[in-house]
Amino acid sequence: LSATEQACRYVDAWLGGLTRPLVTLTVRQQDTHPDRNSDLGEWRRFAAWLEGGNRYAVWIDDTHVALGNGRGYAELSPDLRLALYERAGMNLIGNNGPQMLLQFSTANYLCFGQALTSEWAKHFKTFHALSVGDQLPWAHDRQRLVYKPDTFENLVEEYQW
């Protein structure tokens, strides 16, 4: 998958003359399977750590959260979201649907919270033919599934990998 040229132009215009490395943080906040939700406090702490290290962190919420806060352009448009992901040096994402955009693109990513429970490990094996620790066979060296919870320490450790 690739973003359209127009979506890339929109994102480039929005980013303007950004000189710091861009990192996206996509979090999950759903009522269904709340055990898969992102630990927002840990992600906020990580965002502050990134900013302190001269990185530019862009927060992408679940669509219903973004719209409730009067935002939602990247959340609503897969094309704009993918363009933003393609422009980022790294994309960190919780265990949610938009990770599929990353997994079928060339953008760099770290997908957290994969198969953390026996139920989800079984789901991974049944529907994705992946065991805990496996990576997607087409992924490049800056694309990884992370089978760890989204603690601050894990976010930092995996980002620095």
d(CA 134, CA 113): 13
Task: Flag whether pLDDT at 68 surpasses 90.
Answer: no
- DSSP state letter for 32: S
pLDDT band at 33 (very low <50, low <70, confident <90, very high): confident
pLDDT band at 74 (very low <50, low <70, confident <90, very high): confident
pLDDT of residue 75: 75
Query: Mapping DSSP to helix (H, G, I), strand (E, B) and coil, where does residue 1 land?
Result: coil
Q: What is the mean pLDDT of residues 81-88?
A: 95
Q: Helices (H) and strands (E) in the chain — how many of each?
A: 8, 5
Contact of 95 with 36, CB cutoff 8 Å: yes
d(CA 57, CA 90): 10
State the Cα torsion 74-77-16-157 to the nearest 10°: 50
pLDDT band at 71 (very low <50, low <70, confident <90, very high): confident
pLDDT tens column, 101-134 = 999 999 999 999 998 889 989 998 999 999 999 9
Q: What is the mean pLDDT of residues 135-158?
A: 96
- DSSP state letter for 21: P
**Longest Cα–Cα distance in the chain:** 46
Cα→Cα distances 80→68, 84, 111, Å:
19, 6, 19
Polymer length in residues for the chain: 161
d(CA 122, CA 106): 27
The secondary structure of 126-156 as a DSSP string is III---TT---TT--TTEEE--S---HHHHH
pLDDT of residue 117: 87
Q: What is the value of pTM for the model shown?
A: 0.91
Task: Flag whether pLDDT at 157 surpasses 80.
Answer: yes
Query: Mapping DSSP to helix (H, G, I), strand (E, B) and coil, where does residue 47 land?
Result: helix
pLDDT tens column, 8-27 = 999 999 999 899 999 999 99
